[in-house]
Amino acid sequence: MTTPADLRYTVEHEWVRTPGETAGSVRIGITDYAQDALGDIVYVSLPEVGATVAAGAAVGELESTKSVSDVYAPLAGEVVAVNEGLDAAPEQVNTDPYGAGWLFELVPTDAGHVDELLDAAAYQATLDA
């Protein structure tokens, strides 16, 4: 399992990359650990662009051959982009969770909250516990 050092993480297995492609945004996806635990992703439901989300709120779902799992917003903010490529190729969440398999971008209500998320070492420690 890979845990890139340049990302921030949640205990719910989401990652956050700063900056995102849109000015002031962060990019969000699920970790390598999460995609492996879910199995083959066959469908992705993401929040609508323009939606305001609360930190910790369920904002979408990932359906795999094993189960359906919620996607949580790691930060409060406004959704400014979703990965539309996942409609046709949801398996990218499995094959490239930190790249082509990203889920959505949001502009955080408070960008300082990114620093409150887990760094790679702290996230890895939750997996090893």
* Residue 45, strand partner residues: 61
Q: Give the Cα separation of 81 and 116 in Å (integer).
A: 23
pLDDT digits (tens, 9 = 90+) for 66-118: 899 999 999 999 999 999 999 999 999 999 999 999 999 999 999 999 999 99
Q: Which domains does the chain have, with CATH numbers?
A: 14-104 (2.40.50.100)
Is the backbone of residue 13 left (phi > 0), alpha (psi -120 to 50) or beta?
A: left
Among the residues of 77-129, which ranges form H helices?
85-88, 92-95, 120-128
- Residue 124 exposed, middle or buried by CB count within 10 Å (0-12, 13-18, 19+): middle
pLDDT digits (tens, 9 = 90+) for 49-66: 999 999 999 999 999 998
* Predicted local confidence at residue 94, as pLDDT: 97
pLDDT confidence tier of residue 23, bands split at 50, 70 and 90: confident
pLDDT confidence tier of residue 123, bands split at 50, 70 and 90: very high
DSSP 117: S
pLDDT digits (tens, 9 = 90+) for 8-20: 999 999 999 998 8
* Predicted local confidence at residue 129, as pLDDT: 83
Given a cut of 90, whether residue 1 has pLDDT beyond it is no
